[in-house]
Amino acid sequence: MALECLEDKAGVDVEADRRLRMWHGALHEAAHLVSAQVLLKKSAKAMVFTDGSGVATVGDGVPASFKEAMVAAAGIFGDVLTLQHAPPQKVAAMPAEIAEPQTAQRVKAAQGRIMSDRTAVAQWCILDHEAEPQIWAERHEWVFSSAEAFVQEHQQEIVEVATALFSRGVITLPAQPEEGTEHVG
């Protein structure tokens, strides 16, 4: 059955749904990228796929610091921006599967082994405090409230990065130099 027939019978605009899913994924990953750049002064790459899933290369495993935990949590609050910002209308959505097919296939296959943002934050909250649940709760509140404030403060930059990711499928943000240092070259 042709896709157009599914659209007609179900009354669903499949293309609009795909764009919304990709936009949601782009905002999520852009929040990771911007927070990695600003908080960690680190370059990071992100991909967004046709189904709206995505991945950002901002760290491996359990965050080792509060700032790394914030970067993990930022994606969760990037999701909320979907309620405030509609997908760009004059921009074609380019999924990673088209932009970088071989890399996208490899990354997509590995997605099931990637730790979720919530799991990464939870493990950081417990790290070195396994027998102190009150500290877990305090760290959890601290990280999530800080990440939420960060995303709101950097909302415009996150939306700009998300728009680029939405239109290209794959982007890399360069590392941000430390304050007071010069970039040469």
Does any domain span residue 68? yes
Residue 183 pLDDT: 37
Residue-wise pLDDT for 68-85, tens only, equals: 999 999 999 999 999 999
Which residue in 180, 135, 169 sits closest to 51, CA to CA? 169
CA atoms within 13 A on the CB side of 171: 24
Could you tell me the residue range of the domain that residue 123 belongs to?
14-173
Residue 182 pLDDT: 47
Angle, vertex CA 166, rays to CA 164 and CA 167, nearest 5: 65
Does any domain span residue 9? no
Residue-wise pLDDT for 33-50, tens only, equals: 999 999 999 999 999 998
What's the mean pLDDT when you consider all of the chain?
87
Q: What number is the average pLDDT over the span 99-127?
A: 88
Choice between 17 and 28, residue whose per-residue pLDDT is larger: 28
Does any domain span residue 50? yes
Does any domain span residue 3? no
pTM of the model: 0.86
Domain count, the chain: 1
Which CATH number do you get for residue 113? Answer: 1.20.58
Does any domain span residue 7? no
Does any domain span residue 1? no
Does any domain span residue 2? no
Q: Are strands 170-173 and 44-48 parallel, antiparallel or unpaired?
A: antiparallel
